[in-house]
A = this chain, B = another copy of it.
Amino acid sequence: MTEELYEYIQKTSTVWVREQGQDIKVKDWIVPVWEEAREDWDAVLLGVPLSRSSISASAASEFPKAFRKAWELFTTYYFDEQVDFRGYKVGDLGDVKMHTTDILKCHDNIERAMKSVQQQFPASFVASIGGDHSITAPLVRAIQRKNPDKTIGIVQLDTHLDLRDLSQGPTNGTPIRQLVEGNVVKGENVYNIGLHGFYNAPSLIEAAHEHKVNMISLKQLRSKGIAQQIQEVMEQLSKKVDIVYLTVDMDVLDIAYAPGVPASTPGGMRTDELFDILFEMGKYPIVRAMDFVCIDPNRDNPALSTVKATTYAFLTALASRYIHQRKAVQQLSI
């Protein structure tokens, strides 16, 4: 084909062309791992498109696709801290394979995939993109299996405790219960931040008490201040565990800010508060993995508030890690 053809046409097709230059978009910055021979990714990204495990009907399985599509709206420059974090290398692993009707097999695939990821990229921070909250159990389990001699703690941003019993199998209401009862994580090493309102039944509160799960209400967080509260939680955890897993159920946000999360509620967190928390969490190298769950892009408003908020949150977390700990990250190995 002659060169001339492309004088007035650009190659678009169904493929995102990666661009380079002084200015790049997030879509150009995050690279499929199979396109670049590199093992020292600062972070790797894993799509986990499962939501048929959700108690109420959800299309959160569509979120990894919507999330990647939103990348063209964001740059690699973080204005609040005046820093270009493109030097932080992020590889996209693709999505965990799912079975259409065997939900347990899906969870098993997630666990196996996470184990492979850690095998292949032991020094990389792992960011998983759900899917619903049921994915957190196999993800954390994989970390524990891979690091049998390490103790794991969890920081959970959530309006719900996710401590339901297992009578209906592993759902988006059970991950913390599974991990605690499965001896993967001790209840006392779980810090649930953002609880409020009328969304946790007494039996769950009782389960939290029984397992000594730490519950920090949104009111307490606001009263103490985000920086102070996160510092206290992380100082406590640092004394007790070797690895911290951060799980963000986006239903922690107020429904005005996250209309696309089926379980979001009035009285929840504002996005600026969430971003501040994630910025603070980025200071701690002990945090080795995180996930964002329960965003149903089919229910988002036409402005895509929720998809954009999640992308903003994800970038804040990574930018903060870049600022605070890039070198440290590279020396650590979980």
Q: Which residue of B lies closest to A272 (CB)?
A: B267
Q: Mark A34-69, 1 if CB is under 8 A from B, else 0.
A: 100100000000110001110101110110110011
Nearest neighbor of A271 in chain B, beta-carbon distance: B266
Interface residue ranges of A7-22 to B (CB < 8 Å): 7-16, 22
Task: Name A169's closest neighbour in chain B (CB-CB).
Answer: B101
**Stretch with Cβ within 8 A of B (4 or more), from A70-78, A232-240, A283-291:** A70-78
Flag whether A96 is at the interface (Cβ < 8 A): yes
A104 closest partner in B (C-beta): B101
Binding stretch for chain B, among A148-156, A181-189, A303-311, A325-333 = A303-311
**What is the distance, in angstroms, from A297's C-beta to the closest C-beta of chain B?**
10
CB < 8 Å neighbour of A198 from B15, B27, B76: B76
State the majority secondary structure of interface residues on A.
Answer: mixed
Among the listed B11, B69, B219, which residue makes an inter-chain contact with A14, where contact means beta carbons less than 8 Å apart?
B69
Question: Contact mask A186-224 → B, CB, 8 Å, 1/0?
Answer: 000000000111111111111000000000011100000
The answer to whether B1 touches A120 (Cβ under 8 A) is yes
Q: For A46, give the chain B residue with the smallest CB separation.
A: B9
The answer to whether A299 and B305 have CB atoms under 8 Å apart is no
Interface residues of A (CB under 8 A from B): 1-2, 4-16, 22-24, 26-27, 32-34, 37, 46-47, 51-53, 55, 57-59, 61-62, 64-65, 68-69, 71, 74-80, 82, 84, 92-97, 99-104, 109-110, 112-113, 116-117, 119-120, 168-171, 195-206, 217-219, 254-257, 259-260, 264-267, 271-272, 275, 298-299, 301-303, 305, 308-309, 312, 315, 319
